[in-house]
Amino acid sequence: MNLDYFFLGIDTQAYKYMGCHRLGDGVEFYLWAPHAAGIDVFMSREGFQVFYPFEKVDDRGIWHLVIPNCECIYSYRFRIYHKDGSFSDKSDPYAFYSERRPSNASVMYDLSQYQFTDQEYMSKRKFSYENPLNIYEVHVNGFKHEGDLTTYRELKEQLIPYVKEMGYTHIEMMPVVEHPFDGSWGYQATGFLSATSRYGTPWDLMDFVNECHLNGIGVILDVAYVHFATDAFGLGNFDGEPCYEYKDPKISRSQWGSYQFDLGSGPVVSFLLSSANIFLNEYHFDGLRMDAVSNIIFFDGNKNLGRNESGLSFVKRFNYSIKKEHPDIMLIAEDSTDFPKVTVPTECEGLGFDYKWDLGWMNDTLKYYKMDPEYRQYHHNQLTFSMAYFYSEKFILPLSHDEVVHSKKTIIDKMWGNYEDQFKQCRNLFLYMFTHPGKKLNFLGNDIAMYREFDESRGLDWHLLQYPAHDSFNRLFRDLCHIYLSYKAFYSYDYDPLSFKWIDADNYKQSVYIYTRYDEDNCFLVVLNMKPISYTDYRIGVPFAGTYSELINTEKDIYSGCNMCNFKPVRSKKVKAHGLPNSIAIDLAPYAGIIFSTKIKKKIARAENNTSLKLVGAQK
């Protein structure tokens, strides 16, 4: 324990001594409460409510207590006496477990007794931009929910086989820290080190992560370090005065009404670092996705209010410290701003995230697919613009929970047209997503084309798979996931400009887009038709002479399409098209998305730095 580190905001392990811990045959408490006049801990013990007084051991506000002959099995609260003679009863900020809502007392819990069996997975875990990353974003209670709340153990039995079958590489869990209101989905928390008891015990959550790892699935935790809930038992005015929140009332509250963390306070920064580290160290999570980074960069996420310098300092310190201790995990930013260098290392004056959600791609793409195809020609650049800025950051393409709630409609329901047209375009959309550079993230329900918006009190509409359109859509989604995993062109060179090339980005009249993706051995030609018009003998310039085989076509009958496909391999001819000497002629169905593949006879070599491609030249 180094209290100087704690107050400087560089202690990533404060959870190991702050809060309640076993000490011999008793328990020991440390608490930070700089404005308190006195503190008691009280618990129900042997049928009586027993109070034990703390002693102040540091003038900076550290209080200490040892209770001998006390089993680590009790729930407890802190009674904090204020300078004016009043008091407030608070939960332990560093509690590892809490009573199930609506109760809110902290619960003594020993995390160390769970025995992980994922040593092989952990020893091989390595962060690399060349790895595939196909994320399934999950709310614990939203996957399969019947009757009471889903438990972590039920989720283990239900979710892991599905994720494995579908071809996802990671599960991203919406916040599972303790929170009072189910409808906040964990984004307004009260217990930042406490795995929520509504779904089970900390050991149950550990067991879920362990089982994911045994099945080769990584687990990412969604965290919200901008703000916290205002409930009286929580962090707000913790010792009678602002402690965890900003003292200035002009910035102490967020636009959501919650308290905003004082990210310039050393003890607060150590608290948040410890909150992250407990889930990385003790639960074996493989990454963190930080919510609302825009509110860390700018006050209330509003550039006009100016940069939040304490927030910027915090996020750089946080990312540097966590990556130094855990170089094999990933840090992901949900950031809606155009602030530069979000995914540049802190050593190079960046914010130090590994990935950033591409919310610009998401917004432009969904606006385009909502549009009447007759007017798409006037907005053609909404699908090409993403590649103009794509290499400025390390982007993930997200179709997250934010897009299927609050009367926004689900992904399938955003598509233009009637029921059949919506399915055709949604199939096209996901082929576009899986072939566009960038890692992938989809929220539960996207892959079964669910029409009902997300509701945390209900599971997915799995009965939809009884209907051919939904069942075949799920099959297409699964096939796209496995194609993505099977070919390095779609993941290994995401951030290498040489791995992507437009063949035709300007055909606005027909609303047809054509591009290629490469790896060392293969060239994949992607064709997207955004109108309800079919074409025969549609000529496309190709970068390599040879035979092009249809790898997948969203209009194939097994996907409930019209079956206007290219069933035989197509041989290129020396006919100029799109500025290339060779071309192929294909059949192109309305709203079809197609991937053609060809082997590259004249290899594309790896560049000297071994992280990008070096185009040797097109075949003649």
Residue 301's pLDDT band, with cuts at 50, 70 and 90, is confident
Return d(Cα 280, Cα 543) in angstroms, integer: 46
Give the per-residue pLDDT at 542.
97
Strand partners, 243: none
Scored b (16 or more CB within 10 A) or e, 277-287 reads bbbbbbbbbbb
Domains 3-113 and 500-614 share a fold: yes
Tens of pLDDT along 72-131? Answer: 778 999 999 999 999 999 999 999 999 999 999 999 999 998 999 999 999 999 999 999
Q: How far apart are the first and last CA of the chain?
A: 68
Q: Which class would CATH give 132-490?
A: alpha beta
Q: How confident is the model over 211-266, as pLDDT tens digits? A: 999 999 999 999 999 999 999 999 999 999 999 999 998 888 888 889 999 999 99
Partners of 172 in the beta sheet? 137, 220
Give me the residue spans of the domains in the chain.
3-113, 132-490, 500-614
pLDDT bin (cut points 50, 70, 90) of residue 604 is: low
Annotated active-site residue in 239, 291, 403, 587: 291
Cβ–Cβ < 8 Å for 343, 333: yes
Query: Pick from 527, 524, 545, 505: which is nearest to 586 by CA?
Result: 527
- At residue 619, the pLDDT reads 44
Q: What is the pLDDT of residues 202-213, one digit of tens each?
A: 999 999 999 999
Alpha carbons within 13 A on the beta-carbon side of 565: 21
User: In which band, very low, low, confident or very high, does the pLDDT at 608 lie, cut at 50, 70 and 90?
Assistant: very low
What is the fold of 500-614?
Immunoglobulin-like (2.60.40)
Tokens encoding 291? 């919510």
The catalytically annotated residue of 334, 447, 550, 587 is 334
Over residues 513-518, the mean pLDDT reads 97
Residue 285 has pLDDT above 90, yes or no: yes
Q: Which class does domain 3-113 fall in?
A: mainly beta
pLDDT-derived band at 620, boundaries 50, 70, 90: very low
pLDDT of residue 50: 85
Q: Please, where are the H alpha helices in 524-598?
A: none
**Side chain identity, residue 477:** F
Spatial separation of the C-alpha atoms in residues 283 and 210, rounded to whole Å: 8
Q: What is the DSSP letter of 577?
A: B
Asked if residue 617 has pLDDT above 70, the reply is no
Q: Shortest CA distance to 294 belongs to which of 362, 262, 342?
A: 342
In terms of DSSP bridges, do strands 582-588 and 535-542 run parallel, antiparallel, or are they unpaired? Answer: antiparallel
pLDDT tens, 426-446?
999 999 999 999 999 999 999
Q: How confident is the model at residue 457 (pLDDT cuts 50, 70, 90)?
A: confident
- Using the predicted structure, report yes or no on whether residue 55 has a pLDDT greater than 80: yes
For position 601, what pLDDT does the model report?
78
Eight-state DSSP code of residue 98: B
Task: Identify whether 291 is a catalytic site residue.
Answer: yes
**Side-chain half-sphere CA neighbours of 286 within 13 A:** 26
Q: What is the pLDDT of the chain when averaged over all its residues?
A: 94
Q: Which residue has the tokens 């003038």?
A: 59
Q: Is the peptide bond before 102 cis (omega within 30 degrees of 0)?
A: yes
Gyration radius (Cα) of the chain, Å = 27
Active site (annotated) includes residue 148: no
- From 518, 582, 576, 515, select the one nearest 546 (Cα to Cα): 582
Q: How would you classify the pairing of strands 287-290 and 62-67?
A: unpaired
